[in-house]
Structure 1
Amino acid sequence: MSQLKHTPGPWKWEGYNLFPVEPNPAYEPERYTVHTIIAAEYIGWGFLFSDHKQTCAESDANQLLIAACPDLLDAAIAAEATLTRGRWIEGSTDPEAIALFKLRAAIAKATGT
């Protein structure tokens, strides 16, 4: 798999802005926010002292990730159903059990349940 180009997650909404949950202070100033379609449309590209080319590339990668979310959720639901048949026990250290519980957490986060 190639290197991920989107803003590292997880992300959180604060008001009308999307931010990384744990911004990395080693990053440039633009790393404290997630470049989104909304930011590009209403604010413009990038922030003061940011690298315009990098900001545009990151925004494009974020848009691809956001657009793929419905497909990713469908895949996660299908994988969760398949792994559920294995009857994995909570707290198990089997890789399949760990994947199952990560899938359940991600599905719950995506669906608000």
Structure 2
Amino acid sequence: MEAKFTPGPWQWDGYKLRPTDPDPNNNAVHTIVDAEYIGWGFLCSDPKKTLAESNANLLLIQAAPDLVDAATAAEAVLAKGGWLESSTDPEAIALFKLRAALAKACGDQS
């Protein structure tokens, strides 16, 4: 499965998410997200909670390339078990959840 997204690591610069070391020879995108606003809370929401949740979302987005890398490594280890998709073993369940998440992240959903 080949990643189609901009390689990490990524970092926030204000409300712009960019590759840490953009290189036009290796990728076409120099700004991943340019967000004027980072999250809209409900009218009745506590502004501090809204900001905290929005900041947590920013960190999750920034970690996406690292999470894909870790999931790919874990998938490779679990794949050595030769698990069948019908298996109810925790390792098999984890393997197929990883594969589904990686397919979603890499744009390979069927």
- TM-score clears 0.5: yes
Q: 1:59 to 1:99 in 2, by over 3 A?
A: same
Structure 2 portions without partners, runs of 5+: 1-33
Aligned mates of 2:79, 2:42 — CA distance in 1: 45
Which residue pairs with 2:10 in the alignment? Answer: none
The count of residues paired between Structure 1 and Structure 2 equals: 76
Shift of 1:71: 0.2
CA contact (8 A) 2:39 2:54 kept: no
Q: Identity over the aligned pairs, expressed in percent?
A: 72
Q: Indicate whether 1:77 and 2:72 are aligned.
A: yes
RCO higher in structure (CA 8 A, sep ≥6): 2
Read off the aligned partner of 1:75 and give its amino acid letter.
A
Greater than 6 Å deviation, 4+ residue runs: none
Q: Structure 2 length normalisation: TM-score?
A: 0.62
TM-score normalized with structure 1 length: 0.60
**Aligned-pair RMSD on alpha carbons?**
2.2
SS of alignment partner, residue 63 of structure 2: helix
Is it true that 1:105 corresponds to 2:73 in the alignment? no
Shift of 1:57: 0.3
Q: Give unmatched runs, 5+ long, in structure 1.
A: 1-36
